Amino acid sequence: MSHEKDRIYATEHGQVEDFRFDDQVARVFPDMIKRSVPGYSHIIGMIGILAEQYAQPDSHLYDLGSSLGAATLAMRHRVHAPGATLIAVDNSQAMLDRSRDFLESEDLPTPVKTVCADITELQLERASFVVLNFTLQFIPVEERQATLQRIYDGMLPGGALVLSEKLRFADPVQEQLLAQHHHDFKRANGYSDLEISQKRQAIERVLLPETADDHLNRMKAVGFSAATQWFQSFNFASFLAIK
């Protein structure tokens, strides 16, 4: 995997364009996500541990919005269910191209398929475990319920979903406090005020955070029998839902 440092917003952009998962982002993505999302490495590790528990024989485990495949790889290291297949899905060809080399290079028993598709249109089949690790936040809000319903419909009884998201908070004090400390986290990881402010402008129309209750209520509404928040670091959280 590439170890290039993210300097995308280090110089002044005359006009900050909407954030896209293009080749420039794919090249620096491991560095970008680790320095931008508090708890990212912890969540990736736990996805591996959860996948091992929920993987059923002859089922599919999906990584939706797989980027360079970090969550897929964590699952691949721990899933031993006979006949299980990992399916990494992303609609960014740039991301998929870079993920293939390293996903397929490892010699591990569970096979991986990479699929270029829009997850709002994807038909899942026999899914025992589904990961949406910081992906749903990029789907238009009005399409999120139908997307989650489709996912639920393609899952096996007893299957599990891990949903990780940037959160917003209904209480303005909490919102301001956690956003401020997220920016402190970025600064501590070497991002300048210019980088932080230009990135913020780039994502404000494309990454639309919702509250934890919005997510929990939606998971219940589509049919999950249990849904709980298992992780939070500042304004980033992860949920677990069981069919």
Ligand X SMILES: O=C(O)C(=O)C[C@]1(C(=O)O)C=C[C@@H](O)C=C1
Ligand Y SMILES: C[S@@+](CC[C@H](N)C(=O)[O-])C[C@H]1O[C@@H](n2cnc3c(N)ncnc32)[C@H](O)[C@@H]1O
Evaluate the CA torsion angle 136, 141, 147, 152 in order and state its sign.
positive
In the complex, least distance from residue 150 CB atom to ligand Y, rounded to whole angstroms: 12
Among 98, 199, 215, 243, binds ligand X (CB under 6 A): 199
Q: What is the distance between the alpha carbons of residues 167 and 221, in angstroms, rounded to a whole number?
A: 19
The runs of H, that is alpha helices, within the chain are 23-36, 40-54, 70-76, 93-105, 141-153, 172-188, 193-203, 212-222
In the complex, least distance from residue 157 CB atom to ligand Y, rounded to whole angstroms: 25
56 vs 137 by CB, closer to ligand Y: 137
Evaluate the CA torsion angle 150, 154, 155, 161 in order and state its sign.
negative
Among 207, 212, 216, 242, binds ligand X (CB under 6 A): 207
Return the one option of ligand Y, ligand X, none that residue 203 interacts with (CB less than 5 to 8 A, by type): ligand X
Relative orientation angle of helices 172-188 and 193-203, to the nearest 10 degrees: 130
Interacting span for ligand X (CB under 6 A) from 28-36, 42-50, 213-221, 223-231: 28-36
114 vs 135 by CB, closer to ligand Y: 135
Return the SS3 of 160: strand
159 vs 209 by CB, closer to ligand X: 209
CB-based burial label for 229 (10 Å; 0-12, 13-18, 19+): middle
* 119 annotated as a binding-site residue: yes
* 66 annotated as a binding-site residue: yes
216 binds ligand X (CB under 6 A): no
Site string for ligand X, 174-193 (x = CB under 6 A): --------------------
Return the one option of ligand Y, ligand X, none that residue 94 interacts with (CB less than 5 to 8 A, by type): none
Among 9, 26, 30, 32, binds ligand X (CB under 6 A): 32
Q: Angle CA(72)–CA(74)–CA(76) in degrees, nearest 5? A: 65
The one-letter amino acid code at 62 reads Y
In the complex, least distance from residue 36 CB atom to ligand Y, rounded to whole angstroms: 9
Contact 66, 38 (CB under 8 A): no
In the complex, least distance from residue 163 CB atom to ligand X, rounded to whole angstroms: 13
Closest by CA to 67, choosing from 35, 33, 18, is 33
Return the SS3 of 59: coil
Residues found near ligand Y in the complex (CB under 6 A): 21, 33, 65-67, 70-71, 89-92, 95, 118-120, 133-135, 138-139
Contact 59, 65 (CB under 8 A): no
Closest by CA to 214, choosing from 151, 145, 128, is 145
134 binds ligand X (CB under 6 A): yes
Annotated binding site for S-adenosyl-L-methionine: 40, 65-67, 90-91, 118-119, 133, 200
What is the contact surface with ligand X in residues (CB under 6 A)?
A: 32-33, 36-37, 134, 166, 199, 203, 207
